[in-house]
Amino acid sequence: MYKDSLIYFSSTFSTILINFISLPFFTRYLSLSDYGIIALFIIFGSTLTSLLSFGLSQALFRFYFKYDFDRTKILFSSIIFFLLIIFVIGFLCLYPFTNFLNNSLFKSSLSHELILFSFINGCVIYFYNYNKTLLVAEKKAAKVSILLIIQSLLNLMISFYLIYFENFTYMAIIYGVSISNLIVLVLAFLYNYNFYTIKLSLNEIKAALKYSYPESPGIAIGLLYSSFDKFMLTNVNGLKETGLYDFGFRFATISKLIMDALSQSWNPLFMQNVQEKTNNSLEQLKNKFQELFFIIGFFCIAVSFFTEEALMILTTQEFFAAKYLVPALVIYYFSSTFSFMSVQQIYFSGKLIYNLPVNFFGLLVNLIMNIILIPIYGAFGAVIATITASSIQIALNLYIGNKVCPINYGLKRILYIFAIISLIILLAYPIMFYIDNIIIKFVIKLLIIISFVLIIYFYRLLNFQEIKKEFIKNI
């Protein structure tokens, strides 16, 4: 697991480095309002195509571990053909309503053409991620990492050229994102070429839909949950507040990128070990899961603590307020570590229908709190709403996951670890508010992180020798 995670970490670090290096340039030419438009463009297309996909990528990932190569090949190609038809129908249905959506949902910030372009980009992203799902299931970490790095570099180069030489603003980023997504989709297609076939099966599509259809309403609810705050911020507080909210997420997402690097090696490990159902395999899952909390916790603390300095160095004054959003958003991402176990338990059991009431209740809480808090607190109100709703969903998923697929992984100890690390993350707020000297701030944060690492080492909360052996064994 850790060898693949290291490969994913390498690509994640490269992506983060590329984004950090380019940030001073982009924030010099783009405003918070520009970032608000970019956020709406990306989220609309991704939301709509995910809604139309019926959760079929989850079916592909689950059945990969049950089917042989030939059957997986037929399933893989059948789903693609089915979704192509669905997306074309979706585009034709969307076309007449773009002006209505622009006026009612986007406060006239996205044109007719841009809304359609957003949907097409969402389709490209979906098929890219669908191909990437197969590569993750095959444990081809190097290929996934190459795609991620190429995507980031192409996005940077295209966006830089259009801004610096062609005097574009937000459209430079939109074109950069869209073109880079298309190119990595082609590369992913070439990587998975052996899985494409003209032999299609209606029965395989039915089997995949039977597995994933309970997920469809949950996906719709989850997508509303993740996008409503941005749409409401745009309509109530304007694009600048949406841009600030999105920019806070951009820094907090560093912790998510690291979590994604770990989850891509964790998910296949979970499916394989639970499929085996031996005491050793389940014990390995328990130990790895507890180790993940400390590893992810370390990075979450670092992101929360040093975002303030990064914003001061890399951006302009207009973006500095995002530092107050990041620690809370980092806790939001850190809490999703619980889903490494609970959501996979639900997927393994095939009881995806349980996601519906969980997502519905989370959406209800999120909508109510956003409606109350956004007019008063703006972006920070959206953060509070997101964290509260997410916490409820996590608690319900933990309960359901252990009902449908019981695994003893030391939940009480995990909750204790989560509470301690979350309190450390929240220390970023008093340090920001009450200490003015930037050098003293930096030293205090650094000492806290060093203390955290020393405690992990001396109390052997991570088995460094075992991790080292795993790396050496797989070299």
pLDDT at 472: 46
- Buried (b) or exposed (e) across 140-157, using 16+ Cβ within 10 A? bbebbbbbbbebbebbbe
Q: How far apart are CA 200 and CA 195, in angstroms?
A: 12
Q: Tell me: the pLDDT tens digits for 93-126?
A: 999 988 888 887 777 778 889 999 999 999 999 9
CA distances from 267 to 5, 128, 139, 294, 439 (A): 11, 19, 10, 18, 41
Which of 239, 232, 473 is CA-nearest to residue 367? 232
**Taking the alpha carbons of 158, 160, 165, 169 in that order, is the dihedral positive or negative?**
positive
* Biggest CA pair distance of the chain: 67
Compute the half-sphere exposure of residue 474: CA atoms within 13 Å on the CB side of its CA: 13
What is the average per-residue pLDDT within 68-81?
A: 89
Integer CA distances (angstroms), 189 to 69, 133, 184, 192, in order? 17, 12, 8, 5
- Distance from the Cα of residue 29 to its chain's centroid: 27
Q: Are 191 and 143 in contact (CB under 8 A)?
A: yes
For the segment 7-31, the average pLDDT, to the nearest whole number, is 82
Residue with tokens 């301690």: 420
> In the structure, what pLDDT confidence band is assigned to residue 191 with cuts at 50, 70 and 90?
very high
Q: Is 463 left (phi over 0), alpha (psi -120 to 50) or beta?
A: beta
What average pLDDT does this structure show over 386-412?
Answer: 86
CA angle 51-223-92, nearest 5°?
35
Q: What is the residue-averaged pLDDT of the chain?
A: 85
* DSSP annotation string for 381-400: HHHHHHHHHHHHHHHHHHHH
Residue indicated by tokens 């259009």? 162
First to last CA, the chain: 12
Range of weakest confidence among 210-224, 279-293, 357-371: 210-224
What percent of the chain lies above the pLDDT cut of 70? 92
Average pLDDT of the segment spanning 197-224: 75
pLDDT of residue 127: 95
* The two structure tokens encoding residue 426: 């929240």
Q: Two tokens at 188? A: 């992913």
- Which residues lie below 8 Å from residue 68, measured CB to CB, with a gap of 6+? none
Give the tens place of pLDDT for each residue, 240-251.
888 888 888 888
Q: What is the pLDDT of residues 128-148, one digit of tens each?
A: 999 998 888 887 888 888 998
